[in-house]
Amino acid sequence: MKYHLAFRVLLAISSLLVITTLFLPLWEIYLWAPQYPEGLSVTIWHNNVKGDVDVINGLNHYIGMKHIKAEMFPEFKILQYIIIAFVLYGLLVAYLGTVKSLKIFCFVTVLGGIVALADFYRWGYDYGHNLDPTAPIQVPGMAYQPPVIGYKELLNFTALSIPASGGWIIISVGVIAFVALFFHWFSQRKLKATRLLILPLLSFIIPSCSKEIPEIQFGTDDCHYCQMKLMDNKFGLSAVTAKGKVFTFDDYHCYQKFTEENKASYAATYVVLFDKPGTLSLAENSYYAEGPTVKSPMGSNIAFFSQELAIKEMVAEKSKSGKFSELKHD
């Protein structure tokens, strides 16, 4: 199963844009203090640290923090290869277009983000806690770990850590992937919901169409089993197959014999009502009576009624009666 083509195109384009992160900063940290009203900043690139690094290192000297330099980030040696691999992987997922590959891509993207933030936290913890015990300014119990993301107060400084332009590009790829996955899930759920609504409706409409009540022309139509004309409008049956073919019978006896001999099956069976001559009704909604007072054309002595009460009013109490579905006749 594949996700929407529009999202495949978006994923491919955004993955290609990740190449620009080799030339853009990935993360940035801002510092504000009364003596630095315009603020200080450090930008982290895929292979370097830039910005007001020298000024911040001069301030860090007084509180015993390490100097910031590219050599303290071993990740810089492999980050460019990770970025290229991410670009190629995004293009592959867009090309394949399968939901399974998209799910894996989303998982890998989230996992990669967690690992990156955890690595940044590890570096920040060491940077803010591992202080020089001989530093000129020492505040017992004070740590200077910068925030992984968001704001944090550090003595008289306010620090802000957020993604830079390159970081937002990478995040956008993950967002597009998750939106594509959500859109696919939602569309499938909506389709299932639509099916749940439509299928019962169709199940009502289709049978009702296929069960259009056939007509019996008494005095003209022949019985499909005995070839006798249907003359008595108090007896008769019409059986309709799934393909719409209609078989007409003058008596339940003929209906039963024809069905047994031809191993026939019907989508619907209609019976002529004894208490409403000439009227056909679904057999499953009718009642039957079988007895000596019922004189059917071919001797089954079975008649059908619209109501069970009509049987008692019109047929002797000696007769057997019940629903059509209960009818057993040899």
pLDDT at 314: 66
Split at pLDDT 50, 70, 90, the class of 205 is very low
Residue pair 228/237 in contact by the 8 Å Cβ criterion? no
Averaged pLDDT score across all residues of the chain: 86
Per-residue pLDDT reduced to its tens digit, 73-98: 889 999 999 999 999 999 999 999 99
pLDDT at 197: 57
pLDDT at 43: 93
pLDDT at 17: 94
Read off the tokens for 260. 């047994």
At residue 255, does pLDDT exceed 90?
A: yes
pTM: 0.55
Residue pair 306/286 in contact by the 8 Å Cβ criterion? yes
Rounded Cα distance, 302 and 244, in Å: 26
Question: What are the structural domain ranges in the chain?
Answer: 5-188, 237-326
Strand partners, 98: 2
Per-residue pLDDT reduced to its tens digit, 148-190: 899 888 878 898 999 999 999 999 999 999 999 888 888 877 6
pLDDT at 315: 67
| CA neighbor of 66 nearest in space, from 137, 153, 135 | 135
| CA neighbor of 230 nearest in space, from 272, 269, 265 | 272
For the ranges 141-145, 146-150, 153-157, 312-316, the one whose mean pLDDT is highest: 146-150
Mean pLDDT is lowest, of 49-63, 112-126, 299-313, for 299-313
Strands 280-282 and 268-272: antiparallel
Q: Which helix (H) or strand (E) holds 100?
A: helix 99-129
Per-residue pLDDT reduced to its tens digit, 97-133: 999 999 999 999 999 999 999 998 998 888 888 888 8
Split at pLDDT 50, 70, 90, the class of 208 is very low
The DSSP letter of residue 23 is S
The DSSP letter of residue 108 is H
At residue 224, does pLDDT exceed 90?
A: yes
At residue 194, does pLDDT exceed 80?
A: no
> What is the DSSP secondary-structure string of 127-150?
HHHS--TT-S---TT---PPPSSE
pLDDT at 210: 44
Mean pLDDT is lowest, of 7-21, 135-149, 247-261, for 135-149
Split at pLDDT 50, 70, 90, the class of 146 is confident
pLDDT at 207: 46
At residue 52, does pLDDT exceed 80?
A: yes
- Tokens 């592959």 locate to 92
The DSSP letter of residue 266 is -
Extract long-range pairs of 202-208: CB within 8 Å, 24+ residues apart.
Answer: 207/267, 207/268
